[in-house]
A and B are shown apart, each in its own frame.
Chain A
């Protein structure tokens, strides 16, 4: 009798384990499944850019993200990439710069995509003189998006690249002056240390927030992108309706580093490398965060604070949106010398706006 009961229990246990195992298998494979479609408005004449942070290691994670960016570029041509700091880890000899920047993004650089960097704590401030980073020799600077196919630079968006590793009075005064004189409806700041983050390792940079946030609110900064914490996190809109993103896993990854249950998190992802793509059209900023495997980890639309709509909102899309499948190479992506320029996107000319001090 006892043995029958034992057998029954064993069968039930085995079935339960099988069910759980199947579920887990399905769940894992879903994350690595090849993607399907790219979802943004893809509107003609929109402003488009990509976002990467904490990239410069020359490792497989960075290379795979770069390959995915190249694949996305074919469907979603962008002419600007903003870099959120820690652009080059460790040594920065010319060979290092090539391995940790030039090679991974070669396909994009060859197409004339403009990279603009902010300085991180792993970076030498002399990266400001590295031409491909388009910093114009400045630790902090401002610029409009690169010229489009029609040769016009869109002044409705203005970027502010900041050095939060050394935020002294000169930079604070400069930022206030530039923000107060800017008439661009979209003011987008990017810098290394996140003002809001649920990272266990670093978290919110409170002193930096105490300095920057009042300026952002006063002068109508719409959105801010940071790295430093090695994961993806979309923060719930904060004071002034400002949207904050942490995007620090373009080549560095700290798994399970987001504090579970953080009141800041609108969406978090800390299990793989990623990058972001952004499209601005009118008063809407569409965003999509994409893992190195091509899975969409977050997407939605962010309404510009102060725009006609009653309230700035972030509306994540209902279903996960996947991208065009891309084989992910293990090493540095091969670059085809015969790549044709994507119609409609002219190779951008670096157009650093000198910092006025």
Chain B
């Protein structure tokens, strides 16, 4: 078969052309915005967040009971916070440290587990694990690490103790929205945060640690 030279590489050219065309089509189908892998990951994360939203709405009865007791303790703390704030002259006249000292004095005998009651602890651990373990949780795991004082080079170390001040210069862990949507809601003056694997309950104005739950997150990597 004596084919002319321009036809000899025909098959190779055809293959090359087809590959290029497929690449173009593939990339355009993924959208000009993201690669298909990124888009798929984002879609999975969005579904996970949706599941977290509906999870909060469908709590089992025994869970509701544990949450009710926990919220009673939270309300007790909020009263202390508000009383001390009022005693010091309200938000305008008070510094975080002044309020922290007053609250710590008021709760001098408080200990770990007073607010994070033993009955709520397994539930909190389970709710957190649901959002951080298993498929499609990388984004949440990364968020927990970002800003976590145990993982941030630039942060001052934080040692969780009840009534300890959250140090100025310590970073704050990002709490993934999926975790926040499943954990029992808190009033504005209280926040959940992570320090290493511990979950802390922090007064967001006084910046003191109200309670903590050791090893609340499963041991998970972010790779």
Contact = CB atoms under 8 A, between A and B. Distances in A.
Q: Do A and B bind each other?
A: yes
B168 A124 contact: yes
B205 interface: yes
B91 A208 contact: no
B175 A206 contact: no
Contact of A122 (B30, B171, B180): B171
Q: How large is the interface on A (under 10, 10 to 19, 20 to 34, 35 or more residues)?
A: 35 or more
B178 A168 contact: no
Interface in B169-213: 169, 171-178, 180-181, 185-186, 188, 191, 204-205, 207
Interface in B29-65: 30, 32-35, 38, 41-42, 45-46, 48-50
Contacts of A208: 143, 177
A167 B180 contact: yes
Given A122-B171, A210-B46, A236-B33, A169 B181 contact: yes
Contact of A204 (B27, B42, B96, B175): B42
A238 interface: yes
B192 to A, nearest CB: 8
Contact of B168 (A93, A169, A209): A93
B174 A193 contact: yes
Interface residues of B, number: 43
A343 interface: no
Contacts of B96: 124, 126
B156 to A, nearest CB: 8
A126 B171 CA distance: 13
Nearest to A228: B146
A320 B45 CA distance: 39
B42 A206 contact: yes
B49 A210 contact: yes
Nearest to B204: A125
A264 B33 contact: yes
A352 B176 CA distance: 28
B181 to A, nearest CB: 6
B191 A207 contact: no
A207 B169 contact: no
B147 interface: yes
A277 B35 CA distance: 30
A121 B172 contact: yes
Given A126-B205, A206-B42, A168 B180 contact: yes
Nearest to B140: A207
B139 interface: yes
Interface stretch (A6-14, A73-81, A84-92): A84-92
A263 interface: yes
Nearest to B193: A166
Interface in A240-273: 263-264
A122 B173 CA distance: 9
B159 interface: no
A209 B142 CA distance: 14
A208 B146 CA distance: 13
B99 to A, nearest CB: 10
Given A206-B41, A206-B42, A210-B45, A166 B33 contact: no
Contacts of A211: 49, 177
Nearest to A235: B33
Interface in A172-223: 172, 193, 202, 204-211
B139 to A, nearest CB: 4
Contact of A205 (B139, B154, B169): B139
A205 B146 CA distance: 11
A92 B140 CA distance: 28
Residue among B27, B174, B175 with most chain A CB within 10 A:
B174
Given A168-B180, A170-B188, A236-B33, A121 B139 contact: no
The 8 closest A-B CB pairs, nearest first, are A121-B147, A206-B139, A210-B49, A210-B46, A206-B45, A91-B169, A168-B180, A90-B169
6 contacts: A122-B154, A169-B180, A206-B42, A209-B42, A263-B27, A264-B34
Interface of A: 89-93, 121-126, 129, 137, 164-170, 172, 193, 202, 204-211, 236, 238-239, 263-264
Given A125-B191, A129-B91, A209-B45, 8 more contacts: A89-B154, A90-B154, A122-B154, A165-B172, A167-B177, A168-B186, A239-B33, A263-B33
